[in-house]
Amino acid sequence: MPLNAYITLALLLVLFVLLIKTKIPAPAIFIGALAAALTLNLAPAEELLKGFSNQGMLTVAVLFMVAAGMYATGAITMIMDKLIGLPRSVFGAQMKILPPIAFGSAFLNNTPLVAMMIPVIRDLSRASRLPARQLYLPLSFASILGGMCTIIGTSTNLVIAGLVMEAMAKGSGGSSALRDLNMFDPAPVGVPIAVVGIGFMILAGRFFLSPPKDDKTTDVALRHYTAEFEVREGSRIVGRTLEETGIASAENVDVIYIRRGNRLLTNDLMHEELAAGDLLSFSADVTAMVDLWRTNALVPHLTLNPMETERHTHHLVKAVVSRQSKAVGKKIPDISGDVNTCQYKFVAISRDGKPVSGPLEEVTIEAGDNAVLEVNDDFFYECQIEHDFALTKALDGFHLQRTDRAVEASLITLAMVAVVALGWMSMLNASLLATGAMIATGCLTLRTAARSIDWGTLVVIACAIGLESAVTRSGLAEQIAGMLTSVGRDNPYMALAAVFVGCSFMTNVITNNAAAAFMFPIALSTAGKLGVNFMPFAITLMIAASCAFITPTGYQTNLMVWHVGGYRFTDYTKIGAVLTLIVMVMTIVLAPLIYGF
């Protein structure tokens, strides 16, 4: 083996150890490895730095912005609300959640998808009394499986597609018959895997993800706020009972009464059909009260001044009425304010840690009262002082999801997918146009677009692509490919299995994009030595690089649901190992069957 091959192997081993054993950020480690490769002259500088102009990497960057547009407009939340409803069983919830999430992940970054679904599942589990443990982990795995189905489903697929284009330009691969990868090339293998994988999770979840016998609820927050909301006209809850909507089914929410015109309803409230304009009085803790506020079907009842700003720009704040406040001794409707700057609504109030009695409009404000207000941005600069609210602070993370541009964002995304699927435009060009259209139509601001890009991920991708050149130029890829073919006795199926195992292992211990980039030259050389079609190897790399099921740290969405679902490390290992084996067997059988060696 050439000296440079040994040096490259040592460099990669050091990189792996640093990623696994240290807390140094992955981008810093990859930049250091790339700098070392440049210093040691393991490949020409233009090849080591090619990752920063790689089309796959650039497409990933732009798709971050497209996904941000869908996220910012609430398009996905709106769609999922309509699809999910209020299932009465874990099986029903999984059937309504997992297939749509897998489908959405085939076309959008799955990280924001899972981020949006976590509070939805939390609310669903509260309302339907379903164990969230059996929903969060399948949610993450379904999003990963969905990403396997298209070129744009995950960044690793785009990275591999970009590397294939570069290999074609250089005439690499010998007899492996390289060709451009189309949008749905992974689908004939990815879709059956996603279907079987989701079916497995639904069955396995009953045995591996059931709540522990000693599991006890820890949500014992006191119900100390009184909140009043009106049923919004035309909302989805009109004509349905509180029990059917699930709005008041959470443990920390009680319905005190429903006021309908001059009528006050206090009996059997959960079975009362709601009408537009109904006033609902709740006793709730602050978390449950925030959930009520975020429900688009309800609006706060008391408005001191008309709020001229869009509701999706509003925030919730907790405020304590100071002794010097002009509001002390007044009823809530009598509190005056400056219309131009101090626009807010009373959402809830408590006194001495307990809910107040009677309608909020009849409550007389006292010093020390705790209030939760819906405010606009001006409140933080003007109204806090003017109205003498002491100790005001924002409730972190709670702002209303806008939906006024949801249709536009959805249509733009569908158009982007359509033009790529029809072969009219490259993914990079289509995503750039989609991003521009979202900014032009107000679905996305320039600031949000810039902030949506995960620069750390892009640095890792760019550096990994550069290091791939070192693996190829040094002869390391050729040497490893030779070992694979000799161990497999020139059997392409054995070589395919070895590529899958190596790539999926690296995905779980380092990063999926790095695993794909490092294994690509090895797979390409292996196909060339065997004299077979590279397509089964390319598809296998895409599937294997996404098989991050065995550890909670192997994929971002796994981390997101780890603690919120109360999972142990072994929960991932038990289900993930079996799921990985299923995916591997199906890939090794289907990829050659469909694309041929």
CA neighbours closer than 13 Å in the CB half-sphere of residue 567: 31
Q: Give the pLDDT of residue 433.
A: 95
Q: Within this chain, do residues 564 and 455 fall inside the same structural domain, yes or no? A: yes
Q: Within this chain, do residues 432 and 542 fall inside the same structural domain, yes or no? A: yes
- Give domain status of residue 436, yes or no: yes
Range of the domain at 462: 3-210+418-595
Tell whether pTM > 0.85: no
Q: Within this chain, do residues 348 and 261 fall inside the same structural domain, yes or no? A: yes
Q: Within this chain, do residues 33 and 144 fall inside the same structural domain, yes or no? A: yes
Other CB atoms within a 10 A radius of the CB of residue 342 amount to 20
Q: What is the rounded CA–CA span in Å between residue 143 and residue 67?
A: 14
According to DSSP, residue 273 is labeled B
- Give domain status of residue 405, yes or no: no
Measured N-to-C along each axis, helices 569-595 and 187-208 cross at an angle, to the nearest 10 degrees, of 150
Q: Where are the alpha helices (DSSP H) in 455-511?
A: 455-473, 476-487, 492-509
Summarize pLDDT for 385-395 with one digit per residue, the tens. Answer: 444 565 455 55
Summarize pLDDT for 185-210 with one digit per residue, the tens. Answer: 999 999 999 999 999 998 887 777 66
- Best-predicted range by mean pLDDT among 266-280, 354-368, 469-483? 266-280
Q: Which of 339, 368, 399 is the last residue of a domain?
A: 399
Distance (Å) of CA 512 to CA 256, 415, 459, 582: 52, 28, 13, 19
Q: Are strands 389-399 and 279-284 parallel, antiparallel or unpaired?
A: unpaired
Q: Within this chain, do residues 367 and 438 fall inside the same structural domain, yes or no? A: no
Contact present, 168 and 558 (Cβ < 8 Å): no
- Give domain status of residue 554, yes or no: yes
Rounded mean pLDDT, 70-82: 73
Q: Within this chain, do residues 139 and 93 fall inside the same structural domain, yes or no? A: yes
Residue type, 159: V
Q: Give the pLDDT of residue 143.
A: 93
Rounded mean pLDDT, 411-420: 89
* φ, ψ for residue 35, nearest 5 deg: -65, -40
Report the candidate in 114, 120, 121, 108 with the shortest Cα–Cα distance to residue 68. Answer: 108
Angle, vertex CA 112, rays to CA 109 and CA 113, nearest 5:
80
Structure token pair of residue 456? 């750390």
Q: Within this chain, do residues 128 and 231 fall inside the same structural domain, yes or no? A: no
Q: Within this chain, do residues 166 and 233 fall inside the same structural domain, yes or no? A: no
Q: What is the DSSP track for 278-306?
A: -EEEEEE-HHHHHHHHH-TTEEESEESS-
The single residue listed with the structure tokens 């079907």 is 297
Residue type, 531: G
Q: Within this chain, do residues 386 and 435 fall inside the same structural domain, yes or no? A: no
Residue 351 — pLDDT band, cuts 50, 70, 90?
confident
According to DSSP, residue 9 is labeled H
Q: What is the DSSP track for 572-589?
A: HHHHHHHHHHHHHHHHHH
What mean pLDDT is reported for the chain?
Answer: 80
Q: What is the rounded CA–CA span in Å between residue 575 and residue 195?
A: 16
According to DSSP, residue 255 is labeled E
Rounded mean pLDDT, 339-364: 74
Summarize pLDDT for 106-124 with one digit per residue, the tens. Answer: 887 777 678 677 767 776 7
Q: What is the rounded CA–CA span in Å between residue 366 and residue 573?
A: 55
The single residue listed with the structure tokens 């240290």 is 22
Conformation bin of residue 358: beta by default, left when phi > 0, alpha when psi is -120 to 50 = left
Of 366 and 258, the one with more pLDDT: 258
Say which residues have a Cβ less than 8 Å from residue 53's Cβ, sequence separation at least 6: none
Residue type, 327: A
- Give domain status of residue 412, yes or no: no
* Separation of CA 110 from chain center: 5
Distance (Å) of CA 47 to CA 7, 157, 445: 17, 21, 35
The single residue listed with the structure tokens 């319905």 is 255
- Give domain status of residue 219, yes or no: no
Q: Within this chain, do residues 168 and 39 fall inside the same structural domain, yes or no? A: yes
Say which residues have a Cβ less than 8 Å from residue 164's Cβ, sequence separation at least 6: 178, 179, 180, 181, 538
- Collapse the DSSP code of 327 into the 3-class scheme (helix H, G, I; strand E, B; otherwise coil) and give the result: coil
The total domain count for the chain is 2
